[in-house]
Amino acid sequence: MAFVAALCLSSVLVFSISSGADALSLNYYEKTCPDVDSIVTNAVNHAMMKDKTVPAALLRMHFHDCFIRGCDASVLLNSKGNNKAEKDGPPNISLHAFYVIDNAKKEVEASCPGVVSCADILALAARDAVVLSGGPTWDVPKGRKDGRTSRASETTRLPSPTFNIAQLQQSFSQRGLSLDDLVALSGGHTLGFSHCSSFQSRIRNFNATHDIDPSMHPSFAASLRSVCPKSNRAKNAGTTMDPSSTTFDNTYFKSILQKRGLFSSDQSLLSTPKTKDLVTKFASSKANFNKAFVSSMIKMSSITGGQEVRKDCRVVN
């Protein structure tokens, strides 16, 4: 979920959480594809056994999908002709594990052709990613439709790792998400890896007064500087989002309280009394974090926007 972009405030899509005729339901596929949950879980589990980075990749993919045009699987579409798709936008270049969704879709199609949307498969896979990493489980509301539009230019709307709390709050509120949701969903950074580019501004030439961001613990900054040298840096240089990067837990919040949040956006959660209280609450109780995360994930994954059920997740019908 490492967000790497600047928010374009001039072109704001107003989102609404699914309701009314478009409302999602827990039993949406009860008669048409009753085994969809287990089929997707098996696909995610199979991939994860071979590659421990898969859960973080799927969770991030789902966030990045929902934050552009709602959870409509527009992030899965390939670029075609002159149209550069979301997955080729700068913040999404490092997204991976699309093959996991392809494999799940293939299995779902074999069982119930033309019924289950790619958007629902991605929402289910994100839940499975959390559960298989030791996090909480929840029932995923279903009935999303797949979108027919995907533009790389719109990825500038993703929250950036350099955002301050006001920018983060604006980005989330435009999508109907509260400060509580912002802090809980930031906890998704308990999984995964970040390249140096997402935090290098904090560890060198921070501003005219400080070389290193004063909100970062000096020893943490020193370790990051050694991983991300000024020159001759390895292409994939970077570090894990928190010390237990393949386990879904509340270590992320403990790290922030120790001034060891990786992104400016992570550390900025301490800059208002309300968000700081939530960070403290989640750092002291994994159960409190899990409960809040589940509630906010259901809310975020209910931002809808699609029109069809794709046959192939990479191309429109």
Span of 56-65, 155-164, 169-178, 226-235 with lowest mean pLDDT = 226-235
List Cβ neighbours of 75 (8 Å cut-off, separation of 6 or more).
61, 64, 65, 68, 86, 87, 92, 95, 122, 150
Q: Which residues are annotated as a binding site for heme b?
A: 189
| DSSP, residue by residue, 34-80 | TTHHHHHHHHHHHHHHH-TTHHHHHHHHHHHHHHHHSSSSGGGPPPB
Ordered domains of the chain (ranges, CATH): 35-157 (1.10.520.10), 165-300 (1.10.420.10)
Span of 1-10, 212-221, 223-232, 306-315 with lowest mean pLDDT = 1-10
Looking at the predicted structure, is the pLDDT value of residue 160 above 90? Answer: yes
Provide mean pLDDT across the span 285-293.
98
pLDDT band for position 132 (50/70/90)? very high
pLDDT reported for residue 241: 82
pLDDT reported for residue 2: 40
Provide mean pLDDT across the span 218-241.
86
The residue ranking higher by pLDDT, 18 or 280, is 280
pLDDT reported for residue 242: 86
Q: What is the pLDDT of residues 62-73, one digit of tens each?
A: 999 999 999 999
Query: pLDDT averaged over the chain?
Result: 92
Span of 25-34, 106-115, 148-157, 197-206 with lowest mean pLDDT = 197-206
Q: Residue 209 CB: number of other CB atoms within 10 A?
A: 6
Looking at the predicted structure, is the pLDDT value of residue 279 above 50? Answer: yes
Looking at the predicted structure, is the pLDDT value of residue 34 above 80? Answer: yes
Q: How far is CA 27 from CA 154, 192, 294, 299, 316, in A?
A: 33, 31, 18, 17, 26
Q: Which residues are annotated as a binding site for substrate?
A: 159
Residue % of the chain over a pLDDT of 90: 86
Looking at the predicted structure, is the pLDDT value of residue 12 above 70? Answer: no
pLDDT band for position 3 (50/70/90)? very low
Q: From its phi and psi, is residue 205 left (phi > 0), alpha (psi between -120 and 50) or beta?
A: left
pLDDT reported for residue 153: 97
pLDDT band for position 220 (50/70/90)? very high
List active site positions: 64
pLDDT band for position 243 (50/70/90)? confident
Residue pointed to by tokens 């560890």: 203
pLDDT band for position 232 (50/70/90)? low
Provide mean pLDDT across the span 169-189.
97
Q: What is the pLDDT of residues 36-92, one digit of tens each?
A: 999 999 999 999 999 999 999 999 999 999 999 999 999 999 999 999 999 999 999
Span of 86-90, 162-166, 231-235, 268-272 with lowest mean pLDDT = 231-235
Looking at the predicted structure, is the pLDDT value of residue 22 above 80? Answer: no
Q: Which residues are annotated as a binding site for Ca(2+)?
A: 65, 70, 72, 74, 86, 190, 242, 249
Q: Which residues are annotated as a binding site?
A: 65, 70, 72, 74, 86, 159, 189-190, 242, 249
> Among 10-14, 15-19, 127-131, 232-236, which range has the highest average pLDDT?
127-131
- Give the closest residue to 71 by CA, choosing from 15, 30, 127: 15
By the 10 Å C-beta count (0-12 exposed, 13-18 middle, 19+ buried), 5 is classed as buried
End-to-end CA distance of the chain: 28
